[in-house]
A and B are shown apart, each in its own frame.
Chain A
């Protein structure tokens, strides 16, 4: 079975600074990887996904993530954050040919300060 670890529960950063949110996974087979964002009092929405092909994936709102198979990581990055990026971010994994039910990490709270 797969598992997901988001190494930081909270990441504070100043506006216009770069940010990286870390995600590591464990699986014995190939995986699909997802990042979701949850703004206050809303549900989760898809930020980006890695299915196959290029390991650098671009998503909405200027975010991107890089799949690193050897390090089993899928870190999320943004070169310059805005106040409006303050939200909870969830990494999720599902297994190729396995269940359609993803496993979610516990989330990272990104707090952008002016």
Chain B
């Protein structure tokens, strides 16, 4: 089974801090994704990556950046955390084509105080 592991289940940070969310997958998937999930809004795509060192903006990239130095690891960075970034963050991975499902981590619930 594919395993997508997010480094923290719960995280509390202060406004203005630089925050790192880490995600690791163990199935050699090319594609990795970061979403945020808010009540009533479903999943919104922040950034995705289709290869090492490659990244593409999703629907809501403002205030975020990403890093993919190794194929199995995809990091989400909040450069200067703000209270409106309090949310559930989900990492996912998939293999090459659109007929393959995504595999999700258990999420990180991030609170910015």
Contact = CB atoms under 8 A, between A and B. Distances in A.
A24 interface: no
A56 interface: no
Interface stretch (B42-50, B60-68, B70-78): B42-50
B98 A44 contact: no
Interface in B80-113: 90, 92, 94, 96-107
Contacts of A100: 31, 50, 94, 96-98, 100
A106 B40 contact: yes
Interface of B: 4, 9, 31, 33, 40-43, 45, 48, 50, 90, 92, 94, 96-107
A42 interface: yes
Contact of B98 (A43, A99, A105): A99
Interface of A: 9, 32, 34, 36, 41-46, 49, 51, 90, 94-102, 104-107
Contacts of B107: 41-43
A95 B98 contact: yes
Nearest to A106: B42
B42 A101 contact: no
B41 A106 contact: yes
Given A100-B31, A100-B96, A90 B42 contact: yes
Q: Which 9 A-B pairs have the closest CB atoms?
A: A43-B104, A106-B42, A94-B98, A44-B104, A46-B101, A100-B98, A104-B43, A43-B106, A32-B99
Nearest to B42: A106
B99 A102 contact: no
Given A94-B98, A96-B98, A45 B104 contact: yes
A78 B45 CA distance: 30
Given A90-B42, A100-B31, A100-B98, 13 more contacts: A32-B99, A34-B101, A42-B106, A42-B107, A43-B90, A43-B107, A44-B43, A46-B103, A96-B98, A98-B98, A100-B100, A101-B48, A104-B43
